[in-house]
Amino acid sequence: VLLLAALTAGALAYVKLDVYGHVVPRLTALSLPKAENLAKAVGLKATEAGSNWDAKVRPGWVISQSIRPGRHERAGVTIGLVVSKGVEPVKVPDLTGDGLTAATAALSSAHLTATPIPQYNPTVPVGRVINWTSKGQSVKPGTSITVYISKGPAPRDVPQVASTDTYTEAAALLARQGFRSYKATEHTMLAPVGWVVFVSPDHSSGPQKYDTRVEVMISLGPPSVEIPFVGSDSLAQYRALLEHDGFVVKAYGPPGPVVYTVPSPGSYRLEGSTVYVYTI
């Protein structure tokens, strides 16, 4: 009887050891396929039961297991594994209306970096954000976000201004093309009073920066010149003075001293006007 009892107890212990003789291995810090194979090798089963973001465990590797390592289990018991999805993505912030400094700070707060690229843009103010990559998306921390910064409108050619334009007409034309104008005047015989003499820079100067100031030179007509005073000048001397100043001379009388002129000395007349000289 005693022998039978001992044999029975030993058999039960053997059965128990055989049934619960599968030691759960450590499956964390292994890739999912390796963890599954290792569990299978010791007569157990491992399967993915969930996933979590984890900055320390690479994607596809085991974070935790449902049955602690070292526990004895029956053959075929399933061990649930939580698998890493890697670092949790961060939302790219909205940079609308930001300058480069503000955009860089916003991205830095989200653990992202900014790569600025200047671009011409006709509507976005200079220095403001036009657009950025991964807009509205979530990306891995540390991702570089390309930020396009406005340089304002692109350079353009100065329009051709007609010589018959007034300053008002020329200024309006330049403004429509994105240029500022300022008025200058000069006496000239090249254009009637009030007409454009030239603009600078002009159409031939090539593309100019948006909002460049363009000089518009307006004619005041021929210059006015003072008729010189008469001293003891002979007709020849006085004629030379008048012609040097651009006057046309018509003399009356003998080739003696100049007595008077019409218009009178000291008055102003346009260059090219006729001065009548009378001698004795």
pLDDT by position in tens, the chain (length 280): 665 555 455 544 444 445 678 999 999 999 999 999 999 999 999 999 999 999 899 999 999 999 999 999 999 999 999 999 999 999 999 999 999 999 999 999 999 999 999 999 999 999 999 999 999 999 999 999 999 999 999 999 999 999 999 999 999 999 999 999 999 999 888 899 999 999 999 999 999 999 999 999 999 988 888 999 988 788 899 999 999 988 999 999 988 889 999 999 999 888 889 999 999 8
Q: How far apart are CA 45 and CA 24, in angstroms?
A: 10
pLDDT at 4: 53
Q: For the residues of 56-80, what is the DSSP string, one character each?
A: SS-TTBEEEESS-TT-EE-TTPEEE
Contact call for residues 42 and 27 (beta carbons, < 8 A): no
Q: How many angstroms from the chain centroid is the CA of residue 165?
A: 36
Helix (H, G, I), strand (E, B) or coil at 230: coil
Nearest to 100 by CA among 152, 150, 153, 154: 150
DSSP 145: E
Q: Is the peptide bond before 201 cis (omega within 30 degrees of 0)?
A: yes
Contact call for residues 216 and 170 (beta carbons, < 8 A): yes
Nearest to 197 by CA among 176, 170, 179: 170
Residues 6+ apart with CB under 8 A from 8: none
pLDDT at 14: 45
Q: How many angstroms from the chain centroid is the CA of residue 1?
A: 98
Q: How far apart are CA 225 and CA 237, in angstroms?
A: 18
User: Global pTM?
Assistant: 0.60
pLDDT at 98: 96
pLDDT at 173: 97
